[in-house]
Structure 1
């Protein structure tokens, strides 16, 4: 790890911390504000991968994982209206989802980086984001995985409601997951613009 990697490290740490804070605040019925900041972690990983290589990207992912663990541990000790701000299942789901999804992103990006400039960041982020959403919401809220931490009450997440308020009936946590996934995919497309601009500038000055 060199000084040139420091901006990526700081950016990843800031995104993880901000997302852990903003996830406490609702945005509409299905989302939190954290849903809009967390996907930027994939942008940071992809920029590091393009400019500094796979090893640097993996190191930045590891930093984000450690920072996320610290945030989760702190959250489990802060009591809110309905209990700890971060339950054990949320902490486990968050950590596993982040690490697995980001490492998948790094691997796919590395495999596609010699193609068109947009292919690697787009495909890796779309797949990574999908894995991240599936892992986090199922681990944190699915009744089928209650054995992970039986003391965590997720019965509210199993309430059957129309999907996103107008679709077929589904558990509440599925609507939350679909809304989160939709935001991730939208940001993946938008993030191609800053990816192109930032990597272009960094590569010219490297």
Structure 2
């Protein structure tokens, strides 16, 4: 019963994060910092999605990789399904593909490193998973090559200086991807704080050998 209760909480949190991120990624961060228009490099989704890796890592630590995969798949089915009502279909497709690939990679990396320093598995797993997630999501969601997934957002294809500061120009979604990953790395570091704080509370409840 205790395991079931925890799993329901993890699935609910994962669903909330996925749906919120799919909705927020459609909105650039309209603010100016040091003369840089953040709308050219960031969307609000970059700040919420890294929490998904925290949820996956806590599940992996407490119940092992097999259960973590179940939470990921449950979050995929429920979260991405709901995202078709909160985001355009192309965003939902891109999110689902990136989510599965990134989260499953995070689980594999975490499990390989789980017996090393406490911070290494969650940090390395989330960073590598975030890199793959970012590449897949922004390519599927905005690149002209993947237009068969659905209509594109014209604003995303407009040329702009990369990251708003470089002389070289590229479609705006390239800067979004680079800015998104930069934020994910920073948030990934911040997520070590709640992970470390919960380690003693959410102790492993079964053998967590690689499976």
| TM tier, smaller | 0.7 to 0.9
User: How do residues 54-73 of structure 1 correspond to structure 2 at under 5 angstroms?
Assistant: 54-73=65-84
| Corresponding residue of 1:47 | 58
Please name the residue that 2:16 is paired with: 14
Matched residue of 2:129: which SS? helix
The 5 Å alignment of 1:23-38 reads 23-28=25-30, 29=39, 30-38=41-49
2-structure distance, mates of 1:105, 1:114: 15
Report 1:142-181 matches (<5 A): 142-146=143-147, 148-149=148-149, 152-167=151-166, 168-181=168-181
- Report the RMSD for the aligned CA atoms in angstroms: 2.1
SS at match of 1:170: strand
Which structure would you say has the larger RCO, counting Cα contacts within 8 Å and 6 or more residues apart? 2
SS at match of 2:200: helix
Cα distance in 2 for residues equivalent to 1:52 and 1:153 = 40
- For the residues of structure 2 that align with 1:192 and 1:68, how far apart are their CA atoms? 24
Judged with a 3 Å threshold, the aligned counterparts in structure 2 of structure 1 residues 71 and 8 are, in CA distance, closer, same or farther, namely same
Unaligned runs of 5+ in 2: 31-38, 207-211
**SS of aligned partner of 2:199:** helix
Task: Determine the C-alpha separation between the residues in 2 that align with 1:155 and 1:17.
Answer: 23
Task: Answer yes or no: is the 8 Å Cα contact 2:57–2:110 preserved in 1.
Answer: yes
Residues 18 and 52 of structure 2 are in contact (CA less than 8 Å); yes or no, is this contact kept in structure 1?
yes
| Alignment match, 2:93 | 92
What TM-score, normalized to structure 2?
0.84
SS in 1 for 2:202: helix
Give the Cα separation in 1 of the matches to 2:48 and 2:72. 16
Worse-superposed segment, 17-26 or 170-179: 17-26
